[in-house]
Amino acid sequence: MQGGIEISGLSPIVIPVFVSHLGCPHRCIFCDQTQFSEPVAPERIPDIVSTFIAGCREPQLRQRVIAFYGGSFTGIEPGLLERYLAEALRLVEHGAVHGIKASTRPDMVTPELLARCRRAGFVEMEIGIQSMDERVLKASRRGHSASDAVRAAQAVRDSGMKLGIQLMPGLPGEDRESFRRTVCDAARLRPDHIRLYPAVVVKGTEMERMHQAGAYAPLDLDEAVRRCLYGYARFSGQGCTVLRMGLPPSRTLQVAAGPYHPAFGFLVKARGYRVMASVLKERFGDELDLEVHPDSVPELIGYRKENIDELGFNYSFDERLPRDCVQVRGAVERGCLQLKDIIEYIL
């Protein structure tokens, strides 16, 4: 139940409203401001919402949320921010949507701003943390510290909103140890949601100049998959929903180098199954007969069947098994693994 309306088990409708680069005076090395579209004017939000909802299946049975993307929402200058909040609140009060969410920077979150957003119908705030390593934040010219992230996360939790965070494995100065510490510190913030975006070199950015000058080397795809799997296993193991791994495909995104892959999230999950299957193979020998939930079969088989080709197991499915779990058929002891069981084998 939310906003007095019973919500079915269907997936929520998230209506994106782009406030591109509004509220952000910064120049992170990986961000290409020239690719931002014009921010949506507040008065256009009702039309955007009604058009979007009209194109969705069974909208009345689903939770409907406006998501302000692309800028640092709480950093928008107060007059304009009030206009966004007023339009959003009107849509909540009329029942067109059930709530609002936005993303912002850790140093642009205060209890007062969060309370103002809450009064306007906000249910969630997503904080772009990227790393908890001060050296990495500095090298990426983020302009905020790890303690800003801790303060911001606590303020969001205190406000009663859900907490989302973003991490960016592979920024300059990050090695495996740094990333493991980032995951450990960020997990302590107890986020409800997380997005993992491995750093890619986008054309026209400072990062591209550093890459061309030999001052920055992006992760290769294999290492990016491993780091994201480590994060995925840690966060999902503590009940945090991993909303996305890897940048979404986009016609405007111009990647010059780095671990971009259109099916990145699938690669990460399939790697998890490969690690679980190889641990079980070590325990039970070559004649492996594995069982997974029916929806997990593609991840068990792997991208272009690479898991099954490499490990040569037989498989079947059982819908009583949870997702992210592999079981050896007929095994009594130590024959079942979940993602949280393989963390030590990942990085």
Q: Residue numbers of the site for ligand SF4 (CB under 6 A)?
A: 21, 24, 26-28, 31, 72, 105, 128
- The smaller minimum CB distance to ligand SF4, of residues 39 and 128, is found at 128
Closest CA to 119 of 103, 99, 102, 104: 99
- Tell me the CA end-to-end span of the chain in Å, nearest whole number: 40
Considering the complex, what minimum distance in angstroms separates the CB of residue 113 from ligand SF4?
Answer: 16
- The smaller minimum CB distance to ligand SF4, of residues 255 and 331, is found at 255
Per-residue H/E/C for 106-174: HHHCCHHHHHHHHHCCEEEEEEEEECCCHHHHHHCCCCCCHHHHHHHHHHHHHHCCEEEEEECCCCCCC
- The smaller minimum CB distance to ligand SF4, of residues 25 and 160, is found at 25
Q: 31: which 2 tokens?
A: 């961000």
Q: 162: which 2 tokens?
A: 């859900």
Considering the complex, what minimum distance in angstroms separates the CB of residue 109 from ligand SF4?
Answer: 13
Closest CA to 103 of 191, 5, 190, 41: 191
Beta-carbon contacts of residue 34 (< 8 Å; ≥ 6 apart): 204
- The smaller minimum CB distance to ligand SF4, of residues 75 and 259, is found at 75
CA–CA–CA angle 167, 171, 176 (5° rounding): 80
Considering the complex, what minimum distance in angstroms separates the CB of residue 199 from ligand SF4?
Answer: 11
- The smaller minimum CB distance to ligand SF4, of residues 49 and 156, is found at 156
Considering the complex, what minimum distance in angstroms separates the CB of residue 79 from ligand SF4?
Answer: 20
- The smaller minimum CB distance to ligand SF4, of residues 28 and 342, is found at 28
